[in-house]
Amino acid sequence: MKKTFIATLLFAFVTISFADGLSNSLNTLIHKKDNTPNVNLDNLRIDARPRVVHKKIKTRAKTAIVATVNGKNIIKRDADKYLSKVTKGKIKNFDRLTLRQKRRLIKDISLPIIAYIEAKKVLTKKEIDGVLSSAWIRKKGQTIKVADEEALKVYDTIKKQAIANNTEDKLVSFKQVKNNLKGQIVQKKIMSTLIKDANITINY
């Protein structure tokens, strides 16, 4: 239990660490005024049109290896995808970043990789499977929407039970427990779907 708790904290930490610093750095690039194309004033002739110089950004292939972390390669496609996510689609090309920004982005991408390697050293396979299972359930839950009315029906059922047991005075308001009820409904829906689609055989 202690190991699983530590692992859960570790994975939670790596998903949020360095986000603010990276966002601030990338926001500078996003809001930076685009100075291209530049006008080349060399050998300027008054009676001639200025020659426009387009600054080209060298872009590598999607499969190019942009970094290696403890022997695991990070390709440009993954770096581009992560960059697009943290900039909300405003920047999608890793090669547009400055060297300092590239290092910061790669550091962010590397943290989950390093954490997973370290977790494997102290956790059993069963504990790792438990962490992955919980992560999958949370991700799946984000795709399921529960309306207030659905949660209210559950709350009314609980309220009726409280009245029947003379414990209504201990019941908190719907507003206070609404999100918690929605979470329970989501988990119930996920579990029901998993059991329904599972191929289970019982040997007697």
Q: Would you state the pLDDT for residue 128?
A: 85
Alpha carbon distances (Å) from 85 to 72, 91, 92: 21, 9, 9
pLDDT of residue 48: 46
Question: 141 in a domain, yes or no?
Answer: no
The answer to whether residue 80 is domain-embedded is: yes
Residues 80 and 166 in one domain: no
Is residue 27 in some structural domain?
yes
Is 17 part of a structural domain of the chain? yes
6 with 103, same domain: the answer is yes
Domain match, 66 and 158 both = no
Residues 115 and 14 sit within 8 Å (Cβ to Cβ): yes
**What does each of the 204 residues of the chain score in pLDDT, given as a tens digit?**
444 444 444 444 444 444 555 666 666 655 555 454 444 434 434 444 545 555 677 889 999 999 999 888 999 999 999 999 999 899 999 999 999 999 999 999 999 889 888 888 899 989 988 988 888 888 999 999 999 999 999 999 999 998 988 888 888 999 999 999 999 999 899 988 888 877 766 776
* Residues 78 and 165 occupy one common structural domain: no
Residue-level pLDDT at 9: 42
Q: Examine the fold and report which residue of 58, 89, 123 is the final residue of a domain before the chain moves on.
A: 123
**In a shared domain, residues 180 and 83:** no
My answer on whether 6 and 107 are in the same domain is yes
Is 131 part of any domain?
Answer: no
Domain membership flag for residue 84 = yes
Domain-embedded: residue 143: no
pLDDT of 151: 94
Give the residue numbers spanning the domain of 184: 148-197
Q: How many domains does the chain have?
A: 2
104 and 39 in a common domain: yes
Q: What is the pLDDT of residue 17?
A: 46
